[in-house]
Amino acid sequence: MENSAENNFVEILVQLQNAGALRRLVLVGSWCLLVYKNVYNNAPEIPALRTTDLDFLVREPNVNIPKINIPDILEKLGFEPLNDLASGLTKYEREDLEIEFLVARMRNGDSVVKIPHLTLSAQMLAYMDIANKYAQPVTFKDINLNVPEMPAFVLHKILVQPLRNDGAKKEKDAATIRSLSDLIIDRAELTTRTKEIFSEFPPKWRNKILSEAKEKYPNIVKALEG
């Protein structure tokens, strides 16, 4: 990826870290690939990043702590709010990026929830509790942040990839899963961790993953059944 895009990403992380917000978040989505490149010493199996969508999961939506004004931080970085009046969701857009905040799906029927301590709204999505439960603290460019463990990232993608409506993004997700599964099967510690995480999933999730993997991702089948 271009250095300017990486530099812009790093600047966002720095400002969120300085405000005390980054530890309240988990980086999710394709920008994790850039961090994994750093964690796994530029392993060639990790694909290049090509996305303008930057997503963060809010770890504790209902925690009662002093407020951090994330929209103000983003505004100072040149982002403008995009308000969906129907849902109440606000995303943040700049020429190079669109930032969205997410939460794991809760039992109530709301699709968007307010996050008072971060002064923002977040989209509720299925399976995002995987990223929260298996969040891993890492250091990237001297920044401390949370990302999903790579095996959890891959298993999550297998679950959500069939739900994609955008054909191009659907194929990109499939290609990412195939590439990362090559790395998982090549490293014993990642294979073992993939099995461990998979074993902790509900049976319905495990069945979905195996069904998808047997059709599309043979190395995941090897990792889980080998």
Report the pLDDT value the prediction gives residue 63, as an integer from 0 to 100.
Answer: 87
Report the pLDDT value the prediction gives residue 107, as an integer from 0 to 100.
Answer: 61
62 and 168 fall within a common domain: no
Distance CA 226, CA 220 (A): 9
What is the chain's pLDDT, residue by residue, as a tens digit (226 residues)?
A: 557 889 999 999 999 999 999 999 999 999 999 999 999 999 999 998 778 999 999 999 888 888 999 999 999 999 999 999 888 899 999 999 999 999 998 765 669 999 999 999 999 999 999 999 999 999 999 999 999 999 999 999 999 999 888 888 899 999 999 999 999 999 999 999 999 999 999 999 999 999 999 999 999 999 999 7
Report the pLDDT value the prediction gives residue 49, as an integer from 0 to 100.
Answer: 76
119 and 168 fall within a common domain: no
137 and 167 fall within a common domain: no
The secondary structure of residue 65, as a DSSP letter, is -
26 and 122 fall within a common domain: yes
- Beta carbons of 156 and 131 less than 8 angstroms apart: yes
CA nearest neighbour of 194 among 138, 152, 159, 160: 152
1 and 88 fall within a common domain: yes
Report the pLDDT value the prediction gives residue 108, as an integer from 0 to 100.
Answer: 59
23 and 111 fall within a common domain: yes
21 and 78 fall within a common domain: yes
What is the CATH number for 63? 3.30.460
Report the pLDDT value the prediction gives residue 147, as an integer from 0 to 100.
Answer: 98
Domain C-terminal end among 113, 148, 183: 148
62 and 136 fall within a common domain: yes
User: Which amino acid belongs to residue 113?
Assistant: V
36 and 125 fall within a common domain: yes
Task: Give the E-state strand segments of the chain in sequence order.
Answer: 25-28, 53-58, 80-83, 90-93, 98-104, 112-115, 120-125, 135-140, 143-148
Domain that holds residue 215: 149-226
115 and 210 fall within a common domain: no
Report the pLDDT value the prediction gives residue 160, as an integer from 0 to 100.
Answer: 95
pTM: 0.94
Report the pLDDT value the prediction gives residue 177, as an integer from 0 to 100.
Answer: 97
60 and 172 fall within a common domain: no
123 and 193 fall within a common domain: no
Report the pLDDT value the prediction gives residue 226, as an integer from 0 to 100.
Answer: 75
- Beta carbons of 53 and 96 less than 8 angstroms apart: no
Count of domains for the chain: 2
Domain C-terminal end among 126, 148, 170: 148
Domain C-terminal end among 108, 133, 148: 148
